[in-house]
Structure 1
Amino acid sequence: MKSSFFDIIQSETPVLVDFYATWCGPCKTLEPILEQVKDELGDQVKIVKIDVDKNQPLAAQYNVRGVPTMILYKAGKQVWRQSGVLEKSAIVEVVKTA
Structure 2
Amino acid sequence: MIALTPRTLLSVIAAAALTLAAGFAQALDIQPYSAERLSAAQKSGKPVAVHFHAEWCSTCKTQEKALNALKAEPGLDLTLLVADYDKEKDLKKQYKVRSQSVLIVFHGEQEKARLAGETDIDALRKALKAGL
- Report the TM-score range of the alignment, normalised by the length of the smaller protein: 0.7 to 0.9
1:88 is matched with which residue: 107, 115, 121? 121
Distance 1:95-1:41 versus aligned 2 partners, 3 A rule: farther
Deviation at 1:45, TM superposition (A): 1.5
Q: Please list, as runs of the form range in 1=range in 2, the aligned pairs for 1:1-98 lying within 5 A after superposition.
A: 3-41=36-74, 44-98=77-131
Between the two structures, name the one with larger relative contact order (CA 8 Å, sep ≥ 6): 1
Q: Which moved further from structure 2: 35-44 or 71-80?
A: 35-44
Q: Which structure 1 residue ranges, 4+ long, deviate > 4 Å from structure 2? A: none
| Number of positions where the alignment pairs a residue of Structure 1 with one of Structure 2 | 97
Deviation at 1:49, TM superposition (A): 0.3
Deviation at 1:42, TM superposition (A): 6.1
Q: Is the 8 A contact 1:14 1:72 kept in 2?
A: yes
Distance 1:93-1:11 versus aligned 2 partners, 3 A rule: farther
Unaligned runs of 5+ in 2: 1-34
Distance 1:53-1:45 versus aligned 2 partners, 3 A rule: same
> Which one has the largest radius of gyration?
2
1:3 alignment partner, SS class: helix
Distance 1:69-1:89 versus aligned 2 partners, 3 A rule: same
Letter in 1 for 2:109: G
> Deviations 1:24-60 (Å, cap 9, x if unpaired)?
1111111111111222146612111000212111111
Identical-pair percentage: 30
